Structure formats: C-alpha cells, structure tokens
Amino acid sequence: MSLWVDQYRPRSLDDLHYHQGLSARLRSLAASGDFPHMLFYGPSGAGKKTRIACTLKELFGPGVEKIKIDQRIFLTPSKRKLEVNLVQSNFHIEITPSETGNYDRIVIQELLKEIAQTQQVDLNAKQRFKVVIINEADSLSRDAQAALRRTMEKYMSNMRIILCANSTSRLIAPIRSRCLLMRVAAPDSDAMGTVLDYVARRVGFDLPPDVAGQIVEDAAGNMRKALLVLEALKMQSPDLSGNLSIAKPDWETYCHKVADLIVQEQTPARVMEVRAKFYELLSHCIPPTVILKTVAERVVERVDEALKADIMHWAAFYEVRMRVGSKKIFHLEAWVVKVMSLYKQFFYGMDLTGFD
C-alpha cells in the first residue's frame, strides 16, 4: 500500500491532467522513432518524473513498469566504495549520480559506458535504444557533466539520455545544446484543484472546495506537496470539516521564526540566537540553500519596500558563496549580519559607516 501520491500517479501520457500540449508533443516524439536526448526541467513537484515515466511507457510499452531496484557498488581510484541505487527495467535505467557527491563522474563514466556498449538484444523491443534517466542533473559536478557530453554523442545509436533538473542554469551549455529541452511548468491552481478532486474521488471521499483551495494555495505549484498535505490532512482529521489548518513542514515554521527574530531586533545577542537556530535547522539535514531562501523570503515579506531588493540581493550573493564554500553556517550568519546592518541603517535613516 503506498501513499496517494504514488497510488494515483498517472501511468500513461493519456492520464496526465495538465499540460496537455506537452503531453501531445511527447506522444508524437515517442511515435516518430527519432527520439532525441531530452532535458526535463521545471520546479519541484511539477511532474517531471511522472511525465518521464509516461513517456517511457509510450516508447516501450508496459514493460517499463516492471521495475527492479538494486544497489551497485563503484570503486573510486582511491578504493573508496560508492553505493548507487539503480532503478531499472529492461528498457531503461534510472540513476541519481549526485548521491555520491564529488564522485559522480565515476558513476557517469562507468555506468553509461557499460550501458551504451550493450545493444538491445530483444528483437521484440519497440526501440533499438535504451534510455538512461539521470535525476538531479543540475547537481552534477562539472567533471561529470564534461564526461557526459561526449558520451551523449558517441553512443547515440544505443542509448538516449533523459536529464531531469530543476533549472538549466547549472548545466553546461554543451549539454543543453545536445538535448531537447522540455520545460515542465508548475501546474496552475485550477489544474491542481482538478488533480486533488480526482484523487479524492478515487479514494472515495468528497473534498470541500475551500479545503482544496487552501491546499493548493499552500502548495504553491508543488503537486507532490499538495497530495502529501491532502493525505496528512485526511489522516489527521478524517472528516475534513471544522477549522482546518494546513500543516506546514516544521522546518518552514522554524525558518519563519528565525526571520521574525532577525526583523525584531538587531543585536549581537540576537545574532547568536539566530546562529543557534541555524545550527538546529542544519542538523535536521535541511539544505542550507533552502534555509536561506525560506528565511529570506519571509524577511522580505516583513520589511519595508526599500529594503527588499537589497536583502534579496545579498541572499543571492551569499547563496553563491555557500555553494562554493563548505562551512554553510558562516555564510548564513554573514547574510544575517548583513541584513541586520541594512535594517539598522534604514531604521536610523542614515549610513552609519565610519560612525565608530
């Protein structure tokens, strides 16, 4: 028994509820027999993986749904063992190379070559090639991406690659140019409402429109989140009546608290307090960029118009540093200090540089 998100996930291109135009295009691509490398990108929870799975089914038939999951161990040059989870059917293989961090290049090189060098033997197969799906392509290291670009051309006859990423900005241009870019936009609220209704109907209960509206609003275009919220809500208050509050993830609530702390007071003591909170968040394995983004968005909501642009600018600035650096807490705190300083300057209405 799985969660609703999985249980009522569309299995074929026909079942998809929104972006019909995209579905039609994918269908015709799959039928054409000249299937290119593809790059699916779009925000989290928009349905990229679902769409990829549907496309695969269109390409190869129901055989792709016979999936097995196993682990493979790769050996780094320094004899370290890397465990990579593989999801594979007879026609495709799905990997997340970023699981191995800096060693993703090795996974890409070894695995892709191995797959590319074996031809499809099954004469009944619809297509002559196999498909490799690379998840989280945007967190591939530069080396891995470089390893990918030549492989993509060389083994075109045996293999197609489908990349799945949140944004294309972190993919090197040679890769982008080798792929057909498929943007999967976040569904609008009507589409999300439809999906929620559909799931509710399938499960067998009525979803009050206001509840659906609340969920959609909260999820902000993240379908997966909306469905998880729906299920959590249904679990916690089975009759879906009365005063319902949409549960926010705890880390988000906590981030908002941090933002409030920053806006309320700007003192060294507060800096320390905020630092303790950041430590707490980081120790819960929340990605630091997510923390920075959530806190920054909340701070921006609460400050004067004149400051918003600056705060966001510095958030972006420190996010870059954070990605490059390794001590995340330094950059989080640097941003906090920057924001406090900006806020104070604004509050006193003058630039205090050189005051003391």
Binding to other proteins (CB under 8 A) within 6-45 occurs at: 6-7, 9, 44-45
In the bound state with other proteins, the residue whose beta carbon lies nearer, of 118 and 167, is 118
Tell whether residue 180 is a contact of other proteins (CB under 8 A). no
Nearer CB in complex with other proteins: 36/214? 214
Is position 241 an interface residue for other proteins (rule: CB under 8 A)?
A: no
Choose, by CB under 8 A, the member of 21, 32, 69, 81 that binds other proteins. Answer: 69
Stretch that binds other proteins, among 12-20, 153-161, 183-191, 219-227 (CB under 8 A): 219-227
d(CA 336, CA 351): 18
**How far from each other are the two terminal CA atoms of the chain, in whole angstroms?**
65
Question: Which lies closer to other proteins via its Cβ, residue 24 or residue 67?
Answer: 67
Residue 220 touches other proteins, criterion: CB under 8 A? no
Smallest CA-to-CA distance from 95 within 12, 3, 161 is with 161
Q: Which phi and psi (to 5°) does residue 120 adopt?
A: -70, 125
Residue 250 binding other proteins, by CB under 8 A: yes
30 CB neighbour count, 10 Å cutoff? 19
Q: Which is nearer to other proteins, 279 or 309 (CB)?
A: 279
The answer to whether the beta carbons of residues 27 and 15 sit under 8 Å apart is: no
| Torsion angles phi and psi, residue 205, rounded to 5 | -145, 165
Residue 33 or 249 having the CB closest to other proteins: 249
Q: Is 136 exposed, middle or buried (0-12, 13-18, 19+ CB in 10 A)?
A: middle
Q: Report which of 161, 170, 103, 174 is spatially closest to residue 135, judged by C-alpha positions.
A: 161
Instruction: Establish if 1 lies at the interface with other proteins (CB under 8 A).
Output: yes
User: Can you tell me which of 28, 31, 65, 75 binds other proteins, judged by CB under 8 A?
Assistant: 65
- Provide the token pair at 322: 């954070």
- In the complex with other proteins, which residue's Cβ is closer, 63 or 174? 63
**57 near other proteins (CB under 8 A):** no
Q: Does 194 bind other proteins (CB under 8 A)?
A: no
Under rule CB under 8 A, residue 101 binds other proteins: no
Strand 92-95 relative to strand 130-134, pairing: parallel
Q: Interacting stretch for other proteins, rule CB under 8 A, among 21-29, 155-163, 177-185, 281-289?
A: 281-289
Q: 80: how many CB neighbours lie within 10 A of its CB? A: 11
Alpha helices in 155-222 (DSSP H): 173-178, 189-203, 209-219
Q: Residues 56, 179, 286, 292: which binds other proteins (CB under 8 A)?
A: 286
Residue 251 within binding range of other proteins, rule CB under 8 A: yes
Q: Distance between CA atoms of 161 and 134, rounded to whole angstroms?
A: 7
Residues 315-334 that bind other proteins (CB under 8 A): 318, 321, 324-327, 329-331, 333-334
Segment near other proteins (CB under 8 A); pick from 33-41, 176-184, 194-202, 280-288 = 280-288
**How far apart (Å, rounded) are the C-alpha atoms in residues 210 and 229?**
14
* Nearest distance, CB of residue 121 and other proteins, angstroms: 5
- Answer for which of 21, 62, 173, 235 binds other proteins (CB under 8 A) is 235
Site string for other proteins, 102-121 (x = CB under 8 A): x---------------x-xx
Integer Cα distance of 308 and 236 in angstroms: 37
Looking at 15, 110, 136, 260, which residue binds other proteins (CB under 8 A)? 136
Q: CB 130 → other proteins: shortest distance, Å? A: 9
Shorter beta-carbon distance to other proteins: residue 197 or 252: 252
- Out of 13, 192, 200, 228, the only residue in the binding site for other proteins (CB under 8 A) is 228
DSSP 289: H
Range 290-309, binding other proteins (CB under 8 A): 290
C-alpha distances out from residue 47 to 11, 19, 152, 158, Å: 12, 10, 25, 27
Tell how strand 159-165 and strand 130-134 pair up: parallel
